[in-house]
Amino acid sequence: MDKIVSLEKALEKIKDGMTIMIGGFLGVGTPEKLIDGMIEKGVKDLTIIANDTAFPEVGVGKLVVNKMVKHVQTSHIGTNPETGRQMNAGETEVELIPQGTLAERIRCGGAGLGGFLTPTGIGTIVEEGKRKIKIRDKEYLLELPLKADVALIKAHKADKKGNLVYRKSARNFNPIMAMAADLVIAEAQEIVEVGEIDPDEVMTPGIFVDMIVRGDK
């Protein structure tokens, strides 16, 4: 099945109020074409799950600047002053999650697990409202899985069945997010025929990918 679709067709799946995972680390590995399409479409009241909110003019940061986000779950906002301003003004709800915890919560969501135990956050505001479990005299927080309606991810190369290859550090959160959403849209810089990607090079199998949008070179 050919999963390649137009940007417009992919954007039809993105609605107001959705929870959306977006790959990337300070904009590296972020599907910029899809984000620009979302801005043009004008979707709003989004819950965004991302490693960070990048910069005001890059990636997830552009969604924040355009006030399309009502809630963000992220590990870092320091490079985007607008996120901090909106948080302090009560315009956007920001949930800061330790980076390793964020990654593991997403991984749990994709693997169908009920959560995991971690000592990270004990004795800090991270533990507020969370269940503590003691094992062998050591306390842990029970962290619950994260899932999304849609995951927007960025690949260096894709074949027409959706098998993906990422480039170097641009891999970051993309593979785990591709497993943790009901619908996965990949923006690929290069699209090749089935069989042109060596099976040993596949980083995200096509079974997880629903749509492929051709990226800008």
CA angle 64, 52, 66 (to 5 degrees): 10
Question: What letter does residue 127 receive in the DSSP assignment?
Answer: G
- Local confidence band at 96 (pLDDT 50, 70, 90 cut-offs): very high
Q: Kindly tell me if the per-residue pLDDT of 82 is higher than 70.
A: yes
CATH of the domain at 163: 3.40.1080.10
C-alpha torsion sign, points 133, 181, 54, 62? negative
Show the tokens assigned to 128: 């507020």
What is the arithmetic mean of pLDDT over 54-81?
A: 96
Residue at 1 is within a domain: no
Please tell me the distance from the alpha carbon of residue 22 to that of residue 42, in angstroms, as a whole number: 17
Mean pLDDT, range 161-172, rounded to an integer: 96
Residue 206, helix vs strand vs coil = helix
Range of the domain at 69: 7-214
**Once rounded to an integer, what is the mean pLDDT over residues 85-100?**
96
Cα–Cα distance, 123 to 5 (Å, whole number): 48
Is 2 inside a domain boundary? Answer: no
Tell me the C-alpha distance between 87 and 181, whole Å.
Answer: 26
pLDDT for residue 16: 97
| Domain membership flag for residue 198 | yes
| Overall number of domains in the chain | 1
* pTM for this predicted structure: 0.94
Distance CA 99, CA 119 (A): 14
pLDDT at 44: 96
The mean pLDDT of the chain is: 96
Tens digit of each residue's pLDDT (9 = 90 or more) over 104-121: 999 999 999 999 999 999
Residue 74, Cβ density class (10 Å: 0-12 exposed, 13-18 middle, ≥19 buried): buried
CA–CA gap between residue 117 and residue 171 (Å, rounded): 26
Q: What is the pLDDT of residues 41-57, one digit of tens each?
A: 999 999 999 999 999 99
